Amino acid sequence: MPESSLTHPRHDLIALGVQQPWAELILRGVKTIEVRSLTTQIRGPIYLYASKRTSTMPAAAEMIARQQLDLEPLPKGVLVGTVDILESRPCTPRDASAACVPPDLLVGKQAWVLSQPRRLPHLLEVRFLPYGVWFYPFQRKYRSA
């Protein structure tokens, strides 16, 4: 997966918190749909923040085994990359593979279609911790997401 060309943090980018192993799977281009309960108007590049907590979903354990991941060394509590959000739409059962979850977990959910995952050359510590789904990691800036 290509590394990001970011040499200096972009203060204008909003960040999305995602638990491991999902963040790693997004960076690898395996997970190309992020499943959320709400739609988003955000489009274009965003930071990908690997949450401090890991996913306890059975689907996460299945993907760890399938992708032969070692969960322990995966970064947590830092910005790990950037990814573009192309669209937000209702999930369909056909999204299961791209979302890395069983179809029954998609019912009534939104598919955030992702593209161009880029791993940061260095993990970035955040100045401000997440205060919701979206957050600005380097400044206090509120924007409707």
Nearest-CA neighbor of 116 among 14, 45, 25?
Answer: 45
pTM: 0.90
75 CB neighbour count, 10 Å cutoff: 16
pLDDT band at residue 139 using 50, 70 and 90 as cut-offs: confident
Instruction: Break the chain into its structural domains and give their ranges.
Output: 15-122
pLDDT in tens, 12-69: 899 999 999 999 999 999 999 999 999 999 999 999 999 999 999 999 999 999 999 9
Quick one: 15-122 is in which CATH superfamily?
Hypothetical protein. (2.30.130.30)
User: Which amino acid, residue 44?
Assistant: G
